[in-house]
Every structure is written in structure tokens, then in C-alpha cells.
Amino acid sequence: MTTETAQLFFGFLTLAAGAGAITLVVLRIAAAAGNDGAGRFGVAIGEVSTWLAFLVAATCTLGSLYFSEIAEFTPCRLCWFQRIAMYPLSVILLVGAIRKDDAVRWYAGPLAAIGAGISAYHTLIEWRPALDTGACEVTRPSCTFVWFREFGFLSLATMALVGFLTILILLFVRFPATLVETDDASLVAVTPDAGTEPS
């Protein structure tokens, strides 16, 4: 696989992950508005959300390793900070998915949030180099240097940002299991974690 093909491949995966994350948020809003179909679909996704988050983290990790070890794109200092946040997520989320540990989001979430913050800053200074505070050492590539922008806007930092945000959405967007009409005609949301609550 050529570097250009890899860029296109991971670019499409990034767009797919971003679209999926946005769809999940829209489904949650629709479910909160009383759309039972959206709620049921969201619950189905929620049942495998940790596995999906693991797939996102693993894909980001493999992509990162490909671009640095095969394509020989030398990581800048901010790239390394993002790697420090992303790489452990692959292991943590895999263990959480295997153990079906819903609390894994509290272990993985902080790492993903830190990574998202770094990626957001990195993406910002790629577009606005004047905002760079000199975070990179002289001997490393500049943090404002962009190896490529797939589709005109997806750099490595932006791909990482989408990955971190997708993981956060998969871990923290929760759906009511079902909407049940009670005897007094009010709707009650039955949630996986907290029983029932008025809707």
C-alpha cells in the first residue's frame, strides 16, 4: 500500500467515524424527544459501544504506527503526547469490552479527553501557526508542519481529534433502554444504569 493510498484509506475511516459519532448524538437527541425508534437503535449501538471505541482506538494506533514507521513521517512533540493518550486506550478498551465493564468509560474517558485537547490545539496551530507557543524542540519537526491534508482538511492531528471525540461519544452517550407508557399515560424511560425515570 502506497502512502497516498494509506492517507486516503485512513481519511475515509476518519470521515466514517465522525459521521457515526454525529449520528449517535442525533439519535440521542431524538430519543430524548420521545422517538422510541431512535432510542431502541441507540441502545443496540450502546451494547457494543465499548467494542466500537476499541476499534477506533486500535485503528488510530495502527494508523499512527504506519505513518511513522512505514511512511517515515517523523512525529512532532505534540504527536507524541497524542500517542501517549491514544495507545493505552487500545488496551484499556479491549479489556473493558471483554469484561463487559461499563465503568471502563471512567478509566478511558480522561485519557481520551486529554488527547482530544492536545489534538484540538495541534489542529489549531496547523491552521494558525502564529499561535504556536514553541512547544516543539528545535531538533524535532515543527508542530505546525503538516504532512498532508486529505480532502483538503484532514491532517494527522485532525484525524486524531476525530478519533478521540468519537471514543468519548461512544463511551458517554447513553440511551434509555425503552420508553414505557404507564397507567396514567406518562412516559417512563427505562435506562440500563438507573432503572426508570420520568420522560
Contacts of the segment 102-110: beta carbons below 8 A, 24+ positions apart: 102/50, 102/192, 102/193, 104/50, 104/171, 105/50, 105/171, 105/172, 108/53, 108/167, 108/171, 109/168, 109/171, 109/172
Using 50, 70 and 90 to split pLDDT, how confident is the model at 193? very low
Q: What is the mean pLDDT of residues 22-51?
A: 87
Any idea what the Cα angle at residue 191 is, between residues 188 and 194, rounded to 5°? 105
**Amino acid present at 144:** T
DSSP, residue by residue, 157-178: HHHHHHHHHHHHHHHH----SE
Give the whole-angstrom CA distance, residue 109 versus residue 132: 27
Of 33 and 196, which is predicted with more confidence?
A: 33
Predicted pLDDT at 190: 54
DSSP state letter for 71: S
Asked if residue 196 has pLDDT above 60, the reply is no
Give the whole-angstrom CA distance, residue 164 versus residue 170: 10
Predicted pLDDT at 169: 95
What does the pLDDT look like over 60-75, one tens digit per residue? Answer: 999 999 998 999 898 8
Asked if residue 158 has pLDDT above 90, the reply is yes
What does the pLDDT look like over 173-192, one tens digit per residue? Answer: 887 665 455 555 554 555 54
Task: Decide: 81 and 49 in contact? Cβ < 8 Å.
Answer: no
* Model confidence pTM above 0.95: no
What value does the mean pLDDT of the chain take?
A: 85
Give the whole-angstrom CA distance, residue 166 versus residue 159: 11
Predicted pLDDT at 172: 93
Q: Where are the domains of the chain?
A: 3-198
What does the pLDDT look like over 84-135, one tens digit per residue? Answer: 999 999 999 999 999 999 899 999 999 999 999 999 999 998 898 887 777 6
How much of the chain exceeds pLDDT 90, in percent?
54
Of 196 and 118, which is predicted with more confidence?
A: 118
Closest CA relative to residue 46, chosen from 92, 97, 90, 95: 97
Q: Is the dihedral of CA 188, 190, 194, 199 positive or negative?
A: negative
User: Helix H segments across 33-148?
Assistant: 36-46, 49-65, 77-99, 104-127
Task: Decide: 188 and 179 in contact? Cβ < 8 Å.
Answer: yes
Residues paired with 178 in a beta bridge? 190
Sheet containing strand 178-181, strands side by side: 178-181, 187-191, 195-198
Asked if residue 24 has pLDDT above 80, the reply is yes
Using 50, 70 and 90 to split pLDDT, how confident is the model at 198? very low
Give the whole-angstrom CA distance, residue 132 versus residue 135: 7
Predicted pLDDT at 143: 81
Asked if residue 80 has pLDDT above 80, the reply is yes
